[in-house]
Amino acid sequence: MPSKFLHPFSPAAAEDFITIVRAEGCTLWDDQGNRYLDALASLWYCQVGHGRAEIIDAVAGQMRLLDAYQTFAPFTNQPAEELASMVAERSPHPDGRVFFCGSGSEAVDSALKIARGVHQLRGEPHRQVIIRRTDAYHGTNFGGTSAQGIAGNREGWGDLVPHFVEVPRDDIEAVSTVMAANEGKVAAVITEPMQGAGGVFPPQDGYLRGLRRLCDQHGALLIMDEVICGFGRTGQWFGAQHYGVVPDLMTFAKGVTSGYQPVGGVICSREVCDVLEQPGLVLRTGYTYAGHPTCMAAGVANLALMEEEGLVERVPHLADKLTEGLAALQADGLIRSYRGAGAVYAAELGYDAAAARMRLLGAGVVLRPIGTALALCPPLVITDHEIGTLFDTMADVLAEAPEKGEA
């Protein structure tokens, strides 16, 4: 009889779960006393590592002062104001504003609504088409499910949100064609700066700039989903800055609090805000827990800690170390290739990665299998010694892969 907990993205009948009981830095412990190197930063989110007293104390202190209070007008709170300023200041939209919610999925659905809403307010109600890319992952609410380029995640739920059109991942000409065929109807293009959960695919040179240009030419908005890339992962605060492209709307979650409390959000450009700030207009979307002071306090403390420890500036060093290790695995014939940027990579095995992932867990390393690849996305505090352990373990485990021969 499985437990009462119905796990997300898991076989519903699965029974063999590992009970994690403690975490510190990049190390996890289970209830059997086994330890693991968390080379996925939990689920792509724990930038500062686990167990950081600075965030824990800030959350506890905020709870004692004001545990929770809503932020629908006329209410606000100091941590929400502070986190909104910190996020906007680090983004390409220091004069924009930040809409808060509780997850990446909520952020994506909110951004899609805001994009369509802005066109409605501008007097272009026919602009409803959203262009999505193959292999994109945008969360699991209905908007994000419709925006996904991973077919399996879209199937089996009945009808999704209409007016989504898919283009092949790297084909800028296809975007141009869809824009031309839907002249005056495209509301937005949604893209991750570097695709993450769909397999870790960095954009081809000039691709994102091409999207920006096409959006400008055809009057569409550019939404960048920064849920994985945001908050240092690429070596800049946001992937948009790493790739030198300014989107109109940016969704974020995960790294904003390093996961210590759930927070998501949408950064809106000044031009978008100008439309929303029309006198008499009420933004009729938002969540009970938007700007939740305890969650916001976690974000403020996390960003302060990242700044203090220079974690964004540390990413080029991590990139050197991680690519060095991956190149060595490739040279030894243990992986076929690798791809990624900053502190997020996929090691391409060329055969189903599920069994290798389980053997890595047995050897004390957590990675994520995505089809035939293993994703690496360590906390930004990972030490050189821990990176050494990661690659030594991968080398040992991949050398003995019995399923390799079956590929």
Which phi and psi angles does 289 have, rounded to 5°? -95, 15
Q: Confirm if 144 and 152 have CB atoms less than 8 A apart.
A: no
Consecutive H or E run containing 265: strand 264-268
Closer CB to ligand PLP, 232 or 325, in the complex: 232
Q: Least Å distance between CB 230 and ligand PLP?
A: 9
Closer CB to ligand PLP, 42 or 85, in the complex: 42
Q: Least Å distance between CB 384 and ligand PLP?
A: 27
Strand partners, 340: 345
Dist. CA 240–CA 92, nearest whole Å? 8
Query: Exposed (0-12), middle (13-18) or buried (19+): which is 23, by Cβ within 10 Å?
Result: middle
Helix 293-308 × helix 53-65 angle, to 10° = 150
Pairing of strands 186-191, 221-225: parallel
Closer CB to ligand PLP, 103 or 236, in the complex: 103
Q: Confirm if 251 and 104 have CB atoms less than 8 A apart.
A: yes
Dist. CA 143–CA 113, nearest whole Å? 9
The three-state secondary structure class of 313 is helix
The three-state secondary structure class of 31 is coil
Q: Confirm if 108 and 115 have CB atoms less than 8 A apart.
A: no
Closer CB to ligand PLP, 326 or 344, in the complex: 344
Which phi and psi angles does 335 have, rounded to 5°? -130, 160
Q: Least Å distance between CB 122 and ligand PLP?
A: 26
Look up residue 300 and give its two tokens.
């403020």
Omega cis (within 30) before 2? no
Q: Least Å distance between CB 35 and ligand PLP?
A: 25
Closer CB to ligand PLP, 218 or 368, in the complex: 368
Pairing of strands 264-268, 373-376: unpaired
Question: Which residue is at the shortest CB distance from ligand PLP?
Answer: 104
Dist. CA 384–CA 389, nearest whole Å? 9
Footprint of ligand PLP (CB under 6 A): 44, 103-105, 108, 137-139, 192, 196-197, 225, 227-228, 253
Q: Least Å distance between CB 406 and ligand PLP?
A: 30
Closer CB to ligand PLP, 137 or 338, in the complex: 137
Q: Least Å distance between CB 150 and ligand PLP?
A: 11
Q: Least Å distance between CB 223 and ligand PLP?
A: 11
Look up residue 222 and give its two tokens.
């550019």
Closer CB to ligand PLP, 137 or 391, in the complex: 137
Closer CB to ligand PLP, 113 or 317, in the complex: 113
Closer CB to ligand PLP, 100 or 391, in the complex: 100
The three-state secondary structure class of 4 is coil
Q: Least Å distance between CB 39 and ligand PLP?
A: 16
Pairing of strands 35-38, 365-366: parallel
Q: Least Å distance between CB 383 and ligand PLP?
A: 25
Q: Least Å distance between CB 103 and ligand PLP?
A: 4
Closer CB to ligand PLP, 227 or 272, in the complex: 227
